[in-house]
Amino acid sequence: MISNGISREKARKIFLTVLFSLISIIYVYPVFLVAMNSFKLNTFVKTATFAVPSGESFAGFANFIKGMTFGNYPFWKSAFYSVFITVVSSSLIILCTSMAAWYISRVDSLISRISYMLCVFSMVVPFQMVMFTLSKTADTVRLFGWFGPKLNTPWTIPVIYLGFGAGLAVFMFVGFVKSVPLAMEEAAAIDGCGPVRTFFQIVFPVLKPTMISVGILEIMWVWNDYLLPYLVLDRTKYMTIPIHIQYLKGSYGTVDLGATMALIFLSIIPVITFYLSCQKYIIKGVAAGAVKG
């Protein structure tokens, strides 16, 4: 009986290992395909897409050089805007939503409950429903109301990302804050800490697991986002990497697939590296926030 149980358990583990290994290969294969085609000549990308680069089709780093020097808009500029928008937007989301979640969790009022429900509701609203209105709003509304820059620049678009990313972030932070003992904050208040000092010195460091999880998810979203910058930014002045790749076109609309694959490969390396180095925190943060409140 015991040996049969052990054999079944061993067989189940082997089956799950094989199954998830196959699933992993299916997910990784597109990335491998992009990397492989980034080193091929443009003709062979079209005719021998799934073939390994050989002596005849191997292009070396020519595709990378061509992709980064194509057209009148420099690639380094697109990379700078992507990095700036991603870092500032993610930092803004983490800071503002963690403070909002702390208030919602600790203040039991009608306003806090309505605010939380609105944040949760925003998660189910498709971006396509508001994108045209958003584009018009970004072209007219200024950062400080009646003065300051408009929201259609890389320096102000993080405010828009804050609005769209707040729903999931608040939801995750609220779940985690409810698991933080209130006695810690009461002790800080007895020692003379005000609300701001209590949050930044007591609560904020405790939020690290969920903070990292939210940061990973938001960074991956903002870095890969194409539609929002495409609708909001002036493409003659500002391009992020996804928009830059989309404009790799020659005369009569021809596309250099080799250069396109090279830039796609360059764009996914940072986010994959970041995800692999921080993936263990995602499950930890989600699990930590999955409490009843």
d(CA 220, CA 268): 10
Helix, strand or coil for residue 189?
Answer: helix
Angle, vertex CA 216, rays to CA 18 and CA 122, nearest 5? 105
Phi, psi of 36 (to 5 degrees): -65, -45
Burial (CB < 10 A; 0-12, 13-18, 19+), residue 94, is: buried
Answer yes or no: are the C-beta atoms of 92 and 158 closer than 8 Å: yes
d(CA 99, CA 88): 17
Say what the pTM is.
0.85
In the chain, what are the domain boundaries? 2-64, 73-289
Which residues fall within 8 angstroms of residue 14, CB to CB, at 6 or more apart? none
Q: Fold for 73-289, please state it.
A: MetI-like fold (1.10.3720)
**Rounded alpha-carbon distances, angstroms, from residue 246 to 134, 139, 235, 243, 263:** 22, 23, 11, 5, 10
d(CA 37, CA 76): 22
CA 239 to chain CA mean position, Å: 18
Q: Count the Cβ atoms, other than its own, within 10 Å of residue 248.
A: 20
pLDDT confidence of residue 292: 45
**Rounded alpha-carbon distances, angstroms, from residue 80 to 46, 94, 239:** 31, 21, 9
Helix, strand or coil for residue 56?
Answer: coil
Answer yes or no: are the C-beta atoms of 84 and 156 closer than 8 Å: no
d(CA 239, CA 73): 8
pLDDT in tens, the chain (293 residues): 455 656 777 888 888 899 999 998 998 898 899 989 889 888 888 888 888 888 788 888 888 888 888 777 888 999 999 999 999 999 999 999 999 999 998 888 898 899 899 888 888 888 888 888 888 888 888 877 677 788 889 999 999 999 888 988 999 899 888 888 888 888 888 888 888 888 888 888 888 888 888 888 899 899 999 989 998 998 888 999 999 888 876 555 677 788 888 999 999 888 888 888 877 766 665 555 554 44
Answer yes or no: are the C-beta atoms of 169 and 94 closer than 8 Å: yes
d(CA 188, CA 194): 8
Among 241, 260, 247, 245, residue whose Cα is nearest residue 38:
260
pLDDT digits (tens, 9 = 90+) for 163-196: 888 988 999 899 888 888 888 888 888 888 888 8
Identity (one letter) of the amino acid at 259?
A: A
